[in-house]
């Protein structure tokens, strides 16, 4: 029976097509302890009865159970998912749900996600052979919640779809063959040892974190020590280097391990519309208020966006709010993360099918496109979002934000780092802007900067007051970090630069300098004169930049707002040629619905002749310079004429293309509809294919089982010693045993030939007729026959019929009953004698008794002959009687010795007269023991009732 103790560890195994073979290998090489329970999740047909339990039981002694709703998880038990169901685990109990027919089944994702929420640190996920991507989302959740993930190597799997999808998540701890995964899993089931605290350990861990800072630009020393230590300990165990001193050299030499540790330390955990109450409150109270001003663009920043689910959730919420209020306000959402891989994944906007459990059907249809790999965000929503890499601890914050969302990031940081990030958010927010934190996070200690809107939901609002520009961390940047900053593309809102390294000598002067720049300096771009790339920004240049999707470019043609681009290019050309300051004419420019009088000024930087600066000066708030060098009016006029002609040409081209575009758009919509239908059909076919593969694997195993059964049957027939022959309904030989040679002359080559053509060694001339009659009438036939060696055989013909397979035939067995007949004849002879007779074997066992013996035993209180019948031991009965007399009955001793003498051959016979009185009668018997010349029997024991003779003799003697 399955164990009754609760499971300490859980091995959650996901398998699909080709998974049966992998499961067999896993359990055949399983060294895991008895404290483990196994949950096996497969893609099963809802109408097909799974044979998995019957198949697995041959490869493991562990008890196997079908999952039941509400059942407890017991140790040393394998649990199998029932068909047409999905399973979750909560508080050590299974929860079963019926599968929804209109949703693609993803039972592996469903289970792993629930384990991530309730049992993550005690769970190891194992992904085996299968097609599709089921499990990839669940392992990401489990991994980031503290669990471990093992995957069958794609080259070892029959179908590599599921292993490949799992590996692509970069959340896998181990990739190995199915036969190795169980032993690898054992390494992750050991309890994490507490991290030692000696100085050498702390120093080595500091070296590790310093290396990560050098290689990634992220200072994990500002993260909570307990969290970092646990994550490091997991990597120590996973790499079989349980001590920091052994792990550090390995980390130095293995860039792949650096990436794995980097991903593990960042702990990105997210999902769509996580904590629904938060999003309900935003939709009902916050977003409608922020979107009231239809002339102002709504700006939202999702910091620590991970793989993008929260950013897209907010984007969907904004679109729905605009639709409900018939509002057409513009909006932009900036989503950032320190992990460039997360940014890339989020930017793609592709998610697995399992998100259907988190997102309503209406939202899926409106904001997503179904693909073979899952769901993809529609372009209409994606174009509002800018994804970029951003380090909250070292990069300057964005500005002019109406809403900042940073959930469950601060909880991993040291208090000092938390305060610095919160101060940065205050700088990023507009006056009265809203800050959304995680459930376990707050703005404690910054009451002068934020007021609470909803404490339960961790919603806060920035309070009034001016705040100086935020400075970045004062720590020296590594060469890798400097290179990353130089190569990182600018976002749509370029942040202000951090202070120079020389500011360390005079921090107060540098702070004053930065404050003055923010207050009084005009927005300025520093541009490379050769490449025309923007190298640096000063003050808020965002109103003069364009917005775009896709990869971020720093070239002025991509970055400068289109109305300003010709003027900027002209100024840069003249400034580079004249190496002197150049100014544009004053022009009208609109920002957030308000017109301004703008003048552009370009000038070379003295300290680097290859750098030019372009400043944007609001003439309504700036004094005119006496040295204005206005751009040549003729040159500007020529550019304007050229632009006008280009606009006319473009308008004509657009008009020509509009008609074609409308037709193409209609055709494209039809193709998209057809494509969605095909994708849906493809998903259904894929699901059916997986189910068929599972059924096929079970059938293959069943065939192997039948082959084994056939081999066992052949062996049994051969070992039985019974002559046997099988024939079909045409009386052709289909199978026979080697002993059939005593009856028919058959060889292997005779299979398929008619039996009547075979030579018969017996007098059974009607065997063919009996076979036909047995098959036709479906009645057995028995005959006795004699062989050429004068052996008596019992021929028994038994018909068989299988209507479903249209099989009919018969099996004929020929059993040698010669010895049985002889024994029957001997029994008949001794039964005819009045004496009580028993045949005894050499060990004293009674082999045969006659009727008189059995009748006498019955009359004397032993009706079933248990102590003196066939199978009992006559000598043992004598010993029992001797023991009952304490060994003083010399007559019994003499009888025992006499019987033994005859059995052993030391005496030719033995006779004794003895009394055997009953309660109602006095009786005397004569016992005779004579040897038998037979290898089966040693002696014959006879008891003659001589009571009458004895009485007559006594009478004669008395006279």
Per DSSP, which regions of 372-523 are E strands?
374-377, 385-389, 401-406, 429-437, 450-454, 459-462
- Choose, from 16, 271, 493, 498, the residue flagged as catalytic: 16
Q: CA nearest 132: which of 11, 245, 19, 252?
A: 19
- Choose, from 43, 353, 427, 943, the residue flagged as catalytic: 43
Q: Are 574 and 633 spatial neighbours (Cβ–Cβ below 8 Å)?
A: no
Catalytic residue check, 632: no
Quote the CA–CA distance of 856 and 860 in Å, as a whole number: 6
Quote the CA–CA distance of 53 and 20 in Å, as a whole number: 11
Quote the CA–CA distance of 667 and 905 in Å, as a whole number: 111
Quote the CA–CA distance of 77 and 67 in Å, as a whole number: 11
Spatial neighbors of 818 by CB under 8 A, at least 6 apart, are: 791, 792
Q: Tell me whether strands 77-80 and 64-66 are parallel, antiparallel or unpaired.
A: parallel
User: Helices marked H in 851-905 — which ranges?
Assistant: 851-859, 874-884, 890-904
Sign of CA dihedral 76, 82, 86, 90: negative
Radius of gyration of the chain (CA): 47
Q: Length of the chain, please?
A: 959
Q: Phi, psi (5° rounding) for residue 91?
A: 55, 40
Return the bridge partners of 10, or none: 37, 123
Q: Are 119 and 90 spatial neighbours (Cβ–Cβ below 8 Å)?
A: no
Directed axis angle between helix 107-118 and helix 136-144, to 10°? 10
How is residue 630 annotated by DSSP?
B
Catalytic residue check, 16: yes
**CB-based burial label for 21 (10 Å; 0-12, 13-18, 19+):** middle
Q: CA nearest 561: which of 547, 574, 582, 575?
A: 547
Q: Are 51 and 16 spatial neighbours (Cβ–Cβ below 8 Å)?
A: no
Sign of CA dihedral 557, 558, 562, 567: negative
Spatial neighbors of 646 by CB under 8 A, at least 6 apart, are: none
- Choose, from 86, 114, 119, 134, the residue flagged as catalytic: 134
Catalytic residue check, 687: no
Q: Are 682 and 132 spatial neighbours (Cβ–Cβ below 8 Å)?
A: no
Spatial neighbors of 100 by CB under 8 A, at least 6 apart, are: none
Q: Are 28 and 59 spatial neighbours (Cβ–Cβ below 8 Å)?
A: yes
Triad 141, 146, 147: Cα angle to 5°? 75
Q: CA nearest 363: which of 412, 404, 304, 309?
A: 309
For 706, the token pair is 């039948």
Helix, strand, or coil (residue 465): coil
Cα dihedral 158, 164, 170, 176, rounded to 10, equals 20
Q: Are 726 and 733 spatial neighbours (Cβ–Cβ below 8 Å)?
A: yes
Inter-CA distances, 642 with 556, 568, 585, 918, Å = 20, 16, 18, 143
Q: Are 784 and 792 spatial neighbours (Cβ–Cβ below 8 Å)?
A: yes
Spatial neighbors of 376 by CB under 8 A, at least 6 apart, are: 348, 349, 350, 351, 368, 369
Q: Please provide the DSSP assignment of 300-368 as one string.
A: EEEES-TTSHHHHHHHHHHHHHHHHTT----EEEEEEES-HHHHHHHHHTEE-GGGGGTS-HHHHHHHE
Catalytic residues: 16, 43, 134
């Amino acid at each position: 029976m399955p164990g009754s103790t609760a499971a300490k560890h859980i091995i959650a195994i996901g398998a699909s097509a080709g998974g049966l073979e992998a499961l067999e290998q896993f359990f055949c090489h399983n060294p895991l302890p008895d404290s483990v329970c196994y949950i096996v999740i497969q893609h099963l047909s809802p109408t097909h009865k799974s044979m998995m339990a019957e198949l697995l039981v041959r490869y493991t002694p562990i008890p196997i159970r079908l999952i039941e709703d509400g059942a407890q998880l017991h140790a040393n038990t394998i649990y199998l998912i029932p068909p047409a169901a999905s399973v979750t685990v909560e508080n050590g109990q299974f929860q079963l749900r019926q599968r929804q027919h209109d949703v693609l089944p993803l039972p592996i994702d469903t289970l792993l996600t629930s384990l991530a929420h309730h049992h993550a640190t005690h769970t190891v996920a194992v992904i085996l052979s299968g097609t599709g991507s089921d499990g990839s989302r669940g392992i990401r959740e489990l991994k980031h919640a503290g669990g471990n993930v093992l995957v069958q190597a794609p080259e070892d799997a029959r179908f590599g779809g599921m292993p490949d999808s799992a590996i692509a998540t970069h959340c896998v701890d181990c990739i190995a063959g199915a036969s190795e995964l169980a032993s690898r899993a054992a390494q992750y089931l050991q309890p994490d040892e507490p991290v030692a605290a000696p100085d050498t350990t702390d120093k080595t861990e500091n070296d590790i974190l310093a290396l990560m800072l050098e290689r990634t630009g992220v200072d994990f020393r500002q993260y909570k020590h307990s969290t970092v230590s646990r994550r490091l300990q997991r990597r120590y165990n996973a790499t079989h280097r349980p001590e920091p001193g052994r792990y550090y050299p390995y980390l130095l030499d293995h860039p792949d391990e650096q990436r794995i540790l980097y991903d593990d330390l960042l702990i990105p955990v997210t999902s769509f519309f996580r904590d629904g109450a938060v999003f309900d409150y935003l939709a009902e109270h916050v977003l409608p208020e922020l979107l009231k001003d239809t002339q102002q663009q709504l700006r939202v920043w999702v910091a620590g966006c991970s793989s993008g689910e929260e950013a897209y959730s907010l984007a969907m919420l904004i679109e729905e709010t605009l639709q409900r209020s018939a509002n057409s306000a513009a909006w932009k959402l900036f989503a950032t993360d320190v992990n460039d891989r997360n940014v890339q994944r989020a930017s793609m906007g592709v998610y697995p099918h399992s998100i259907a459990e988190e997102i309503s059907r209406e939202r899926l249809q409106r904001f997503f496109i179904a693909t073979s790999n899952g769901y993809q965000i529609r372009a209409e929503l994606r174009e509002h979002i800018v994804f970029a890499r951003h380090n909250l601890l070292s990069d300057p914050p964005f500005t002019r934000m109406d809403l900042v969302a940073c959930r469950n990031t601060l909880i991993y940081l040291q208090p000092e780092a938390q305060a610095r990030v919160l101060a940065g958010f205050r700088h990023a927010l507009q006056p009265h802007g809203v800050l959304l934190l995680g459930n376990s996070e707050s703005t404690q200690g910054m009451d002068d900067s934020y007021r609470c809107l909803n404490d339960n939901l961790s919603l806060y609002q920035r309070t009034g007051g001016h705040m100086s520009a935020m400075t970045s961390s004062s720590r020296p940047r590594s060469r890798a970090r400097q290179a990353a900053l130089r190569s990182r593309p600018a976002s749509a809102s370029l942040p202000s630069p951090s202070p120079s390294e020389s500011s360390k000598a005079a921090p107060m002067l540098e702070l004053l300098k930065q404050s003055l720049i923010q207050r009084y300096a005009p927005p300025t771009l520093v541009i490379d004169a050769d490449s025309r790339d923007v190298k640096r920004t000063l003050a808020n240049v965002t109103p003069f930049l364009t917005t775009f999707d896709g990869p971020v470019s720093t070239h002025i043609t991509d970055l400068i707002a289109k109305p300003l681009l010709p003027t900027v290019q002209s100024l840069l050309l003249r400034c580079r040629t004249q190496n002197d300051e150049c100014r544009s004419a004053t022009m009208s420019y609109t920002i957030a619905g308000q017109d301004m009088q703008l003048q552009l000024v370009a000038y070379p930087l003295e300290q680097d002749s290859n750098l030019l600066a372009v400043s944007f000066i609001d003439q309504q708030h700036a004094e005119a310079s006496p040295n204005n060098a206005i751009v040549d009016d003729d040159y500007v006029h020529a550019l304007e004429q050229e632009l006008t002609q280009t606009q006319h040409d473009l308008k004509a081209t657009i008009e020509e293309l509009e008609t074609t575009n409308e037709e193409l758009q209609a055709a494209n919509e039809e193709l998209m509809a057809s494509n969605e239908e095909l994708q849906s059909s493809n998903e259904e076919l894929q699901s059916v294919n997986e189910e068929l593969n599972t059924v096929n694997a079970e059938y293959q195993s069943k065939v192997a089982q039948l082959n084994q059964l056939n081999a066992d049957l052949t062996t049994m027939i051969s070992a039985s010693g019974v002559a046997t022959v099988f024939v079909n309904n045409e009386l052709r030989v289909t199978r026979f045993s080697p002993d059939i040679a005593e009856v028919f002359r058959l060889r292997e080559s005779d299979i398929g030939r008619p039996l009547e053509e075979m030579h018969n060694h017996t007098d059974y001339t009607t065997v063919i007729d009996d076979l036909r009659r047995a098959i036709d009438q479906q009645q057995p036939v028995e005959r006795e026959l004699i062989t050429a060696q004068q052996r008596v055989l019992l021929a028994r013909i038994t018909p068989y019929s299988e209507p479903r397979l249209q099989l009919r035939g018969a099996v004929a067995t020929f059993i040698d009953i010669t010895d049985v007949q002889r024994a029957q004849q001997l029994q008949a002879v001794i039964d005819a004698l009045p004496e009580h007779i028993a045949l005894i074997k050499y060990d004293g066992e009674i082999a045969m008794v006659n009727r008189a013996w059995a009748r006498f035993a019955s009359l004397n209180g032993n009706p079933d002959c248990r102590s003196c019948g066939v199978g009992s031991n006559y000598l043992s009965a004598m010993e029992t009687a001797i023991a009952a007399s304490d060994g003083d009955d010399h007559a019994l001793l003499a009888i025992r010795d006499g019987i033994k003498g005859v059995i052993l051959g030391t005496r030719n016979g033995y006779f004794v007269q003895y009394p055997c009185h009953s309660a109602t009668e006095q009786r005397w018997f004569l016992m005779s023991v004579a040897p038998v010349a037979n290898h089966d029997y040693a002696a014959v024991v006879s008891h003659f009732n001589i009571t009458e003779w004895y009485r007559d003799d006594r009478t004669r003697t008395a006279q």
